[in-house]
Amino acid sequence: MFDRARVVRTVVAVLALGVVGTVLVGTAQQPTSPADIASALVAYYKIGNRPTSITVAELEQRIAHFPDFGEGTIEAMKKAAPIETVSKLVSLKNSKGRNLLSQKQIILLLTFYNLKP
């Protein structure tokens, strides 16, 4: 149902395309190698240093400022914190028993957090 590896590959590909577009628009006269693009992407998002859990502090300091994350979502996530796995993140429900997070929100969180499967 939810293939984390596929989602991560898709997110990285989309982000790489954004970096390529930015680099090509900014430096149209110079071709850019894939290694340069990958280095810029890793440096920008610091992929190797992503937190491995979503804590209450992370929710208050960072995630609360992401677009499309309302107060209700943040409060429900605080009750479930710390969130250390993708399965726990995906299984969060709102007060009506519906999924708390949309697929877009889950992909955004997986971009910035290195959660276990």
CA angle (53 as vertex; 51, 54 as ends), nearest 5: 100
- pLDDT tier, 12 (very low <50, low <70, confident <90, very high otherwise): low
pLDDT, one tens digit per residue, over 64-105 is 988 889 999 999 999 999 999 999 999 998 878 889 999 999
pLDDT reported for residue 16: 52
The CA-based angle 16-64-15, given to 5 degrees, is 5
pLDDT of 22 over the 60 cut:
no
Pick 51 or 9 by higher pLDDT: 51
